[in-house]
Amino acid sequence: MSSPAAPVFQVALPLPLPRLFDYAAPDDRPAGADEIGRRVRVPFGPRELVGVVAAIDPPAPDAPALRAILDRLDDRPLFHGELLDSLRWLARYTHAPLGEVLATALPAALRRGEALPDTHAWAWRLTEAGATALPRLRNGTRPRRLAERLREGERDEDALDAWMDDWRTAARALAKRGHAERVAVPASQLAPAPQPGPVPNEEQQVAIDTLRAARGFAPLLLDGVTGSGKTEVYLHAIADCLARGRQALVLVPEIGLTPQLLARFRARLGVPVHASHSGLNDGERARTWAAAWRGEARVVVGTRSAVFTPLPDAGLIVVDEEHDGSYKQQDGIRYHARDFALVRGKALEVPVLLGSATPSLETLHNATTGSRYGYLRLSHRAGEAKPPAVRIVDVRKRPLEAGLSAQMFDAIRAALDAGGQVLVFKNRRGYAPVLLCHDCGWSAQCPRCDSPMTVHAHGRRLQCHHCGHRKPAPPACPDCASLGLQPQGAGTERIEEVLAAKFGAGSHPDVPVLRIDRGSTQRKDALETLLAGLGARPGILIGTQMLAKGHDLPNLTLVCVVGIDEGLFSADFRSHEKLAQLLIQVAGRAGRAQRAGEVLLQTHHPEHPLLATLIEGGYHAFAGDELAQREAAGFPPLAHLALLRAEAKHAEPPMAFLHATRTALRDSGLALDLNGPMPAPMPRRAGMHRAQLLLSAPARGALHAALDAALPAIHALPDARKVRWSLDVDPVDLY
Ligand SMILES: Nc1ncnc2c1ncn2[C@@H]1O[C@H](COP(=O)(O)OP(=O)(O)OP(=O)(O)O)[C@@H](O)[C@H]1O
Ligand SMILES: [Zn+2]
């Protein structure tokens, strides 16, 4: 306990309570403003928590005695300046506790209170003994080549990785004889050694020049068809940013961050590129964060949470595939990484480049109608590549095998005979979406969700894609004991089975048939290994949306798209946008190099206006129509939404809580459209009953004012304690 005349530390703790917590100073040291943004360890009830000092209050004479901070964890603030300001903004915008927002912005190791890790890079240099011994090393061997390389000067491990495979064995051989040694160097001292790329075409040059001329905050949409060389524009812009001595942050979607992409960035930019994604362990992620915080990391490439990277010398932020759904965090602090990147770019006064072949309607609206963003176009494919030809295959009344029509099989055969590769796209994992009893109509439902279980392992296993529940498939119908259980419909496994029988081992001529989805590529790099094994040979890839982007397969000449019809009739107002984006992105995998590409779209609804518009007018024709409909229906981007979700073991508490919430929002007196409460589109999931209340307003300000006014009352509702509830501002999925 402290004397009442000491300053009060207001600490942001990772707790779902919308307030800061008061503590006394840990010692007698005078508390200055630079305490703010440092992590501290504090007692909280019987526990200890790691929090961040958010404010220092002057001593209050009659304040109650406070518990004292246990430890200061940082010598200097981890959060300060722009990043702290932006995160405070994010807490206000998401109406979330600052402590939870700050915890979300930290890598797990730092959140737990570990020290900021050491971040020097490693380099190799030739010793004097090595220089003397060099002429005696056998010519052409790896150790000799490495020694020659090091004679030119110290080389960091990143540069060596890019230069020669397995240089480490050679380095160990040299080190064993004392000819070379490993030395720690500050990452910022590494000399860049960039490699040249293709000469930019006219449109790329315009984009590069626009970025070069940009001063201060400049949001720019780079709207370039698939294969148009957007990545080349990023690379030039990043190189310019590095040349000005600034840091660049590149955000990529979850499935876009491939080892190839990182290798391309490293080689072309000639500086170490720091990665940040969920495939890294806690230590690696904390190191990237720390290297950026120290200004040592000059280029950071990462997925959603990389948007929280500290950028003391920021020069540029790039958001690749800005329309991608993985930028939205779906639990905890529900931020949108693209939108937060724009907020940071504004505060940092740097350009923010949003790239996509299929921009989100939000971004497109800002770039066109509002002219709030600069608008750069790449209207044709780079180099020699031509756009793929898209054809609709009407399968009404046609026999199907694993969901594929005879016309598809013929086209696949023809593409393989011509020496090409084929991608069969089906956005459904597993063997079949439903197990049905042909005699009585029973189907296998998840016991915990309102959803059928997916058939896996060629019919042997059932798995719920919503809650993960698994069980063996029953041998007979549990209702009527019939043995007539049949998997209905087809997932990637079943398509693989049929294509392997027709084109795989044992047939003549036979080609590799590879399935690529979350089930087949759980191991890190499994996808790369599969694709490298295929090489340029004819072969068939069967994939979910994992294969829809980020991969450059030069020999891919045919893309077959099956099973899109559900997306045509979904209730979600964004379903058409998502489907259009997916179709264009998948189609964009075809014919990216010299060989022309073809895309076949199989459907029972060949006359559907979405398909007709996309094929005749392309993505922009679709987007124009869709924006008009959104405006008419009062949906984003022409209205602003927030979704209150609640769930509990029983059905009533979520509805009761949301009814009370509705009243609290009405009492705020602000004009809002309130829709609900109603059961969620999937009313029961993982054993929880779920309900929701949708808030909508023509202006953002009204929405936030109503929430600000009502949330204290909502937090205090007695019903709030009987449910798990959350608020999602700008929800992407309405379930
Ligand atoms: N100016 C150019 N001249 C020749 N080739 C180019 C040029 N720009 C890019 N390329 C090549 O074109 C291919 C596609 O480029 P890139 O990957 O940058 O496209 P993208 O627009 O990012 O593609 P997507 O969004 O479809 O993934 C690459 O192999 C790239 O090396
Ligand atoms: Zn389930």
Residue with CA nearest ligand 1 atom 30: 229
pLDDT of residue 718: 92
Distance CA 211, CA 243 (A): 13
Please give the residue that has the higher pLDDT: either 388 or 130: 130
Per-residue pLDDT band at 179 (split at 50, 70, 90): very high
User: Does ligand 1 have an atom closer than 6 angstroms to the CB of 228?
Assistant: yes
CATH number given to 389-430+491-630: 3.40.50.300
* Arithmetic mean of pLDDT, 198-213: 95
pLDDT band at 30 (very low <50, low <70, confident <90, very high): confident
Q: 87-120: per-residue pLDDT in tens? A: 999 999 999 999 999 999 999 999 999 999 988 7
pLDDT of residue 2: 47
Which residue has 């001329």 as its token pair? 213
Ligand 1 proximity of 227 Cβ (cutoff 6 Å) = yes
pLDDT, residue 187, reads 62
CB contact set of 427 (below 8 Å; sequence gap of 6+): 544, 545, 563, 564, 582
Give CATH for domain 640-729.
3.30.70.600
Structure-block tokens of residue 142? 């790896």
The residue among 219 and 570 whose pLDDT is bigger is 219
CA 454 / ligand 2 centre spacing (Å): 10
Which carries the bigger pLDDT value, residue 411 or residue 554?
A: 411
Would you list the DSSP string of 674-691? EEEEEEEEEEEETTEEEE
Superfamily of domain 202-378: P-loop containing nucleotide triphosphate hydrolases (3.40.50.300)
Is the CB–ligand 1 distance for residue 637 below 6 Å? no
From atom 9 of ligand 1, which residue's Cα is the shortest distance away? 229
In this predicted structure, which of 250-259, 428-437, 698-707 has the lowest mean pLDDT? 250-259
Q: Give the pLDDT confidence score for residue 500 in this predicted structure.
A: 92
Task: Say which ligand is closest to the CA of 199.
Answer: 1
**What percent of the chain has pLDDT above 70?**
96
DSSP string, 381-409: -STT--PPEEEEEE-TT--EETTEEHHHH
- Which range (58-72, 322-336, 358-372) has the least confidence? 58-72
Phi, psi of 159 (to 5 degrees): -65, -40
**Among residues 707, 732, 711, which one has the least CA distance to residue 328?**
732
> Residue ranges of the domains in the chain?
8-111, 121-185, 202-378, 389-430+491-630, 434-488, 640-729
Can you give the pLDDT at residue 383? 79
Query: Distance (Å, rounded) from C-alpha 653 to C-alpha 637?
Result: 32
| Planar angle of CA 270, 274, 280, nearest 5 degrees | 140
pLDDT higher than threshold 80 for residue 60: no
Instruction: Quote the pLDDT of residue 593.
Output: 73
Could you confirm whether domain 8-111 is CATH 3.90.650.10?
Answer: no
Buried b (16+ CB within 10 A) or exposed e, 676-709: bbebbeebbbeebbbbbbbbbbeeeebbbbbbee
> Quick one: pLDDT at residue 437?
93
Strands 121-126 vs 556-561: parallel, antiparallel or unpaired: unpaired
Is the beta carbon of 383 within 6 A of some atom in ligand 1? yes
pLDDT of 734 reads 78
> What was the pLDDT predicted at 458?
85
The residue whose C-alpha atom lies closest to atom 5 belonging to ligand 1 is 383
Closest C-alpha residue for ligand 1 atom 7? 382
501 C-beta neighbours (distance < 10 Å), count: 14
Average confidence score pLDDT of the chain: 89
For the segment 165-173, the average pLDDT, to the nearest whole number, is: 87
Pocket test of ligand 1: the residue of 205, 221, 232 to mutate, having most ligand atoms within 8 Å of its CB, is 232
Q: Which ligand is nearest to the CA of 447?
A: 2
Q: Which of 231, 358, 549 for a ligand 1 pocket mutation test, highest count of atoms within 8 Å of Cβ? A: 231
pLDDT in tens, 594-603: 777 888 999 9
Q: Which atom in ligand 1 lies closest to the alpha carbon of residue 378? A: 21
Residue 687 alpha carbon to ligand 2 centre in Å: 8
Q: What is the pLDDT of residues 567-580, one digit of tens each?
A: 787 878 898 999 99
pLDDT of amino acid 519: 61
The answer to whether 204 and 229 are in contact (CB under 8 A) is yes
What is the rounded distance in angstroms from the CA atom of residue 228 to the CA atom of residue 242?
A: 24
Of the residues 552, 582, 599, which should be mutated to test ligand 1's pocket, given the most ligand atoms within 8 Å of the CB?
Answer: 552
Q: Is the pLDDT of residue 581 over 80?
A: yes
pLDDT at 524: 54
Ligand nearest to the CA of 224: 1
Tell me what ipTM this predicted complex has: 0.97
Question: Is 593 near ligand 1, meaning CB less than 6 Å away?
Answer: no
Ligand 1 atom closest to 385 (CA): 12
**How far, in Å, CA of 221 to CA of 342, rounded?**
12
Q: Which amino acid is at 479?
A: D
In this prediction, residues 305-314 reach a mean pLDDT of 97
- Which residue has its alpha carbon closest to ligand 1 atom 19? 229
Any ligand 1 atom below 6 A from CB of 514: no
Cα atoms in the Cβ-side hemisphere of radius 13 Å centred on 514: 23
Backbone phi, then psi, for 205, in 5-degree steps? Answer: -65, -40
Which tokens go with 665?
């929002």
Helix/strand/coil (H, E, C) string of 621-666? HHHHHHHHHHHHHCCCCCCEEEEEEEEECCCHHHHHHHHHHHHHHH
The residue-averaged pLDDT of 241-267 equals 88
The structure tokens listed for 520 are: 């087949």
- The number of the ligand 1 atom at minimal distance from the alpha carbon of 550 is 27
If one compares 344 and 256, the residue with the highest pLDDT of the two is 344
- Give 234-265 as a 3 state SS string: HHHHHHHHHHCCCEEEEECCCCCCCHHHHHHH
- Taking the centre of ligand 1 as the mean of its atom positions, its distance from the CA of residue 389, in whole angstroms, is 19
| Cα-to-centroid distance, 48 and ligand 1 (Å) | 52
Closest CA to 328 of 365, 284, 368, 360: 360
**Does the pLDDT of residue 1 top 60, yes or no?**
no
Q: Which numbered atom of ligand 1 lies nearest the CA of 554?
A: 29
Q: Is 233 helix (H, G, I), strand (E, B) or coil?
A: helix
The answer to whether the 202-378 and 389-430+491-630 domains have the same CATH topology is yes
Q: What is the pLDDT of residue 31?
A: 77
Ligand 1 binding pocket includes 204 (Cβ within 6 Å): yes
Q: Does the Cβ of 588 fall within 6 Å of ligand 1?
A: yes
Q: Is the CB of 357 under 6 A from ligand 1?
A: yes
Distance 689 CA to ligand 2 centre (A): 12
Contact in structure between 349 and 329 (CB atoms under 8 Å): no
564 C-alpha to ligand 2 centroid (Å):
23
- Rg of the chain over CA atoms, in angstroms? 28
Nearest CA owner, ligand 1 atom 16: 229
- What percent of the chain has pLDDT above 90? 60
3 state DSSP class of 714: helix
Task: Tell me the CA–centroid distance for residue 728 and ligand 2, in Å.
Answer: 23
CA–CA dist 720, 584 (Å, integer): 44
pLDDT score of 550 more than 70 = no
Lowest mean pLDDT among 61-70, 140-149, 341-350, 522-531: 522-531
